[in-house]
Amino acid sequence: MCGIAGAYQQPEGKLLTSVMVERQAHRGPDASAVLESVNPRASVVLGHLRLSIIDLSSAADGPFTKNGLTISYNGELYNYRQLRAELERSGVAFATSSDTEVVLEAWRAWGPSGLRRFRGMFAFAIHDAATDELALARDPLGIKPLYVMRRGAGILFASELKAIVAAVGPELSVDPLALAASALYYWLPDQITSVQEVSKHPPGSWTVYRPDGTSESGRYWDPAEISARAARGGARDLRAVVEASVEAHLVSDVPVASFLSGGLDSSLITAIAHQHHPGIEAYSIAFRGADQRLEAMPDDARYARRMAQHLGIRLHEIEITPDVVDVLPRVVDILDEPIGDPAAINTLLMCESAREAGVKVLLSGMGADELFGGYRKHLACLLALRYQRAPGLARRGVADLTNRLPVIAGRRGLRTVRWAQRFLSFAELGEEEAFRRSYTMFAPDELAGLLHPSWGPQVDQLVAGHREIYEDNDLDGPVARMCLADSRLFLPGLNLAYTDRSSMAASCEVRVPFVDPHVFEAAFSLGESDRIRGRRQKAALRDVARHWLPDEIIDRPKASFGVPLRAWVNNDLSEIVDDVLLHGELVATGVLRREPLARLVADQRSGRRDFSKQVWQLLSLEIWYEQARAAGVRAV
């Protein structure tokens, strides 16, 4: 796991690349280098930061050059040994035992078609000295980030947007569509970048840039196509596929540990990993009791302890009591774009604790909810279809009563009321619209009322973009369609993004065995009832888990990887909300309208409605905007 950066056809390429490497130094504390190649046809500069995981010798440092090809590589190739053996049989001689060299030789042998053989997470750049072409590629599901800026006849690229901003900030401008998207989703879809001049290299694709300024791109892995083919092909052996993926993700020359929340997904990953590596250790988090009560949070730590005891492994418990006022600006900077999920703090603090203990690699259960129908929104949208068949008079009565109820009584949060109010916000809508509304911050009219009146077109564009992605498939059932949309929007835009940035800020690698092409295909080979059976979510995965886990873990209620957000917003951040959000640059410039924003904050504080996620997100957006402007990025 590493960080990459580079400049192609840029007169000041070495300087720009050096700045980008320095800005993301946290991604590779073990080694760093900048390599320049200048000739009459092209100027190519590649930068690399190394977190050494496979082949710890300096011979595997990047940028890695061999026989006319130079690679700057970020990621892990879990099947590199099998690919290496195949290449050796064709006559390739290897100088290291790294996966980096395997990627380079696979590209030499097979070109873009070789990407379909890779099992791993990656983003890389390869320069061919014979043609002076520069190739970029990214893994199928968007685990590893890759930002690209077209600049003159060439490009800049980096693992993190902040690196490009550090190099050429005054050339960049904030994208109004991104601000609206951040307010709507509380993250940015992978198709949108927060500055106009920079884009995210699409997952599952490659691009070759040529000295004459032209380029060629291709897609080697399309989730819509793969999911439709899997659905037609019959159910796979899910148990074997999941176990093989976890085993593959254990490939490492350093110790591997695991996140363990006590939920189904992390417990299953940990149990399978323990079967193959009995000495594995786990990390878990806990919160202050008062904060848990206000949030109405389940006691995940209790289940994590029981799971660790069941396996006989060592569990490191970390109590999360951060100074939120201090940590929020840091996390906003770490997340790179305006992402308002406070779970990033959990990941950051757990990774920092693991890193202090000498652990570089952690396994996570992320991705199972997206692929197997595990989020509450999936079940809620199915229940909404049934709710719509109830008499209209009864539905109106339920809505009137529910929306008058408070979400806090005394100092205890009322989770059922929060869920009911959220459900009623989308229960009357059609399938795609209900799904979008089930997880976004605002309805389109609410968002349009919060933003400057001229921003209506941006809101309309976001709604149309979601509809286009949601409907771009040949799947038969609503649960499969929701899961595919999540794998294309929610997973890369939010969960993979915050996990990568938070973990790499601690110089730690997080691996996600569920976010794997083979697991993806197995998930979409399932029928609707294999995902949600009655009200039982992730049904097929639970069936598989009985081979490894006790019933207490499998059958426990769903719990999210959350934080005591209401306590933080109402207590710790109250003054910051007043000073930074209500009197910030977004309000001063008219991007956010003061009156509706003030009403939203007042409703949250009174306990009439639960707008804590919206307040946190808008505060994060304001801080991100101020940081971008301070780095020279032009205003909207």
pLDDT tens, 151-192? 999 999 999 999 999 999 999 999 999 999 999 999 999 999
Is 142 one of the annotated binding-site residues? no
Instruction: Specify whether 381 is catalytic.
Output: no
Over 80: is that where the pLDDT of 436 sits? yes
Mean pLDDT, rounded, for 242-250: 98
pLDDT at position 402: 64
pLDDT above 60 for 407: no
Task: Please indicate whether residue 607 or residue 630 has the higher confidence score (pLDDT).
Answer: 630
609 confidence band (pLDDT: 50, 70, 90): confident
pLDDT value for 214: 95
Distance CA 450, CA 473 (A): 33
- DSSP β-ladder status, 256-259 and 361-363: parallel
pLDDT band at 296 (very low <50, low <70, confident <90, very high): low
Please tell me if the domain spanning 2-174+192-221 has the same topology as the one spanning 225-372+498-554: no
d(C-alpha 306, C-alpha 468), whole Å: 44
Given a contact cutoff of 8 angstroms between Cβ atoms, the answer to whether 452 and 595 are in contact is no
Task: Tell me what pLDDT residue 451 has.
Answer: 95
Ligand-binding annotation for 364, yes or no, is yes
pTM for the model stands at 0.94
pLDDT band at 294 (very low <50, low <70, confident <90, very high): low
Q: Are 83 and 106 in contact, with CB atoms under 8 Å apart?
A: yes
Q: How far apart are CA 42 and CA 133, in angstroms?
A: 9
* pLDDT confidence of residue 511: 98
- Per-residue pLDDT of 448-507, as tens digits, reads 999 999 999 999 999 999 999 999 999 999 999 999 999 999 999 999 999 999 999 999
- Residue-wise pLDDT for 587-601, tens only, equals 999 999 999 999 999
Span 236-254, average pLDDT: 97
Tokens coding 450: 């919060």
DSSP 93: -
Q: Among 145-159, 413-427, 551-565, which stretch is predicted with the lowest mean pLDDT?
A: 413-427
CATH fourth-level superfamily of 225-372+498-554:
HUPs (3.40.50.620)
Q: Looking at the predicted structure, is the pLDDT value of residue 208 above 70?
A: yes
Residue 612 pLDDT greater than 60, yes or no: yes
Please give the CATH superfamily to which domain 2-174+192-221 belongs: Aminohydrolase, N-terminal nucleophile (Ntn) domain (3.60.20.10)
What one-character-per-residue DSSP string does 544-590 give?
HHTTTS-HHHHTSPP--S---HHHIIIIITHHHIIIIITTSHHHHTT
Indicate whether 64 pLDDT > 60.
Answer: yes
**CA 313, CA 282: separation in Å to the nearest integer?**
7
How far is residue 387's CA from residue 95's CA, in Å, rounded to a whole number? Answer: 64
Encoding tokens for residue 546? Answer: 């009985």
- 556 pLDDT more than 60: yes
Extract the tokens encoding 370.
Answer: 């997206």
Instruction: Average the pLDDT over 602-609 and give the result.
Output: 84
Domain positions in the chain: 2-174+192-221, 225-372+498-554
Average pLDDT rounded to a whole number, residues 33-39: 91
Binning pLDDT at 50, 70 and 90, where does residue 41 land?
A: confident
Of residues 422 and 81, more confidently modeled: 81
Region of poorest pLDDT, from 280-284, 404-408, 415-419, 568-572:
404-408
Residue 242 has pLDDT above 70, yes or no: yes
What mean pLDDT, rounded, does the chain reach?
92
Closest by Cα among 43, 53, 55 to 13: 43
Catalytic residue among 2, 351, 381, 508: 2
Strand partners, 417: none
